[in-house]
Amino acid sequence: MKLERPEHPAPVDAADRKGIRPVICYPVEGLPRPDLAAYRAAREGWSLVAEVLVPPREARTFEVPAGWFFRIVSVEGPQVGDLNLFAAENLGERFFSGKTRALHGTHLSTGDRMWSCLPHLRPMATITDDTLDWYGFDAFGGSVHDVIGTRCDPYTHALLSGGEQYHHCCHSNLTRAVADHWGLPAKAAELHVHDVLNVFMCTGFTRETGQYFMKASPVRPGDHLEFMAEIDLLGALSACPGGDCSAEHSSDVAACHPLKVQVFRPKAPPVGWVSPGPNAYDRSHGQE
């Protein structure tokens, strides 16, 4: 955080320097854009082929082949979900929250994509519907589906609580789910767990101090966030112990609800769509 009282005096041209207008780091106009109309048309006559219920304070995995769709659905009550994505056959290619944030902003919605980590950097999934798109940004600067938080984890909790042990943070839930899927010990599996898309979570940064905040999620049963898988995916979703994240997480105090994942097989993939290949960079890094 910035000092309440700076230790160094402002230079004479401070106002000029601070008055420079910002420029967007990554103008998205340069990115390959998804043909959303074609994606949405492919939903016509699709079949619901799998449903996974994620119990409160637990995580579950699910598989979605390229060109298929999945929805994360609110059931029973307001609940936040922490989503990890992996290439189905390659644990090393996973969701890159930081670059997704740099490309699409702090909070995702329809048309935005979840990008994979370096050296892959290709779209893993595209958001095709968001029933909370009406929320926009509130008066506090908050919004839903952020890529600014990380995932609640027992290490941060131990630091802040004087060493308390809590085993149902999203990091641990995702670790157990990934461990079960790949038959790995927890200590090996947790190395693959990564920063998440905070589905339905309402977050922002305070204007005064720039601190990460959360507030009660506006999600209600029946709401969903829908994606099309750009590559063969393994997803892992945790129903956060924070519930609607109105008060606290990393404990069993909050009211928690399950989340449902639905997987849909379209009759045919979107017209004109091709699963993205490897990134165009040659990976030589300038080395002779």
Our CB check for Zn ion shows the closer of 81 and 123 to be 81
Residue 230 beta carbon to Zn ion: minimum distance, rounded to whole angstroms: 26
- What residue type is 215 in one-letter code? K
Our CB check for Zn ion shows the closer of 170 and 219 to be 170
Gyration radius (Cα) of the chain, Å: 20
**Is residue 225 a contact point for Zn ion (CB under 5 A)?**
no
> Is residue 18 within a helix (H) or strand (E), and if so which, with residue range?
helix 14-18
- What residue type is 77 in one-letter code? G
Residue 13 beta carbon to Zn ion: minimum distance, rounded to whole angstroms: 45
**Is residue 152 a contact point for Zn ion (CB under 5 A)?**
yes
Our CB check for Zn ion shows the closer of 148 and 152 to be 152
Q: Of 29-37, 145-153, 195-203, 268-276, which segment contacts Zn ion by CB under 5 A? A: 145-153
**Is residue 240 a contact point for Zn ion (CB under 5 A)?**
yes
Residue 285 beta carbon to Zn ion: minimum distance, rounded to whole angstroms: 36
Structure tokens at 146: 């952020």
**Is residue 202 a contact point for Zn ion (CB under 5 A)?**
no
Q: Of 7-15, 35-43, 152-160, 200-208, which segment contacts Zn ion by CB under 5 A? A: 152-160
Distance CA 5, CA 2 (A): 9
**Is residue 177 a contact point for Zn ion (CB under 5 A)?**
no
Our CB check for Zn ion shows the closer of 152 and 237 to be 152
Q: Residues 6 or more apart from 6 whose CB is under 8 A from it?
A: none
Q: How many residues bind Zn ion (CB under 5 A)?
A: 3
Our CB check for Zn ion shows the closer of 120 and 145 to be 145
**Is residue 127 a contact point for Zn ion (CB under 5 A)?**
no
Distance CA 118, CA 98 (A): 11
Q: Of 1-9, 144-152, 186-194, 269-277, which segment contacts Zn ion by CB under 5 A? A: 144-152
Residue 263 beta carbon to Zn ion: minimum distance, rounded to whole angstroms: 23
Q: Residues 6 or more apart from 230 whose CB is under 8 A from it?
A: 66, 113, 122, 123, 124, 125, 126, 275, 276
The three-class DSSP label of residue 41 is helix
Our CB check for Zn ion shows the closer of 156 and 262 to be 156
Exposed e or buried b per residue across 38-54, where buried means at least 16 C-beta atoms within 10 angstroms of its C-beta: ebbebbeeeeeeeebeb
**Is residue 170 a contact point for Zn ion (CB under 5 A)?**
yes
Our CB check for Zn ion shows the closer of 166 and 182 to be 166
Q: Of 16-24, 108-116, 148-156, 228-236, which segment contacts Zn ion by CB under 5 A? A: 148-156
The residues facing 227 across adjacent strands are 70, 127
Our CB check for Zn ion shows the closer of 86 and 200 to be 200
- The residue written with tokens 């630091």 in the block is 159
Distance of CA 63 to the CA centre of its chain: 17
CB 165 within 8 A of CB 156: no
Q: Residues 6 or more apart from 15 whose CB is under 8 A from it?
A: none
Q: Which residues bind Zn ion (CB under 5 A)?
A: 152, 170, 240
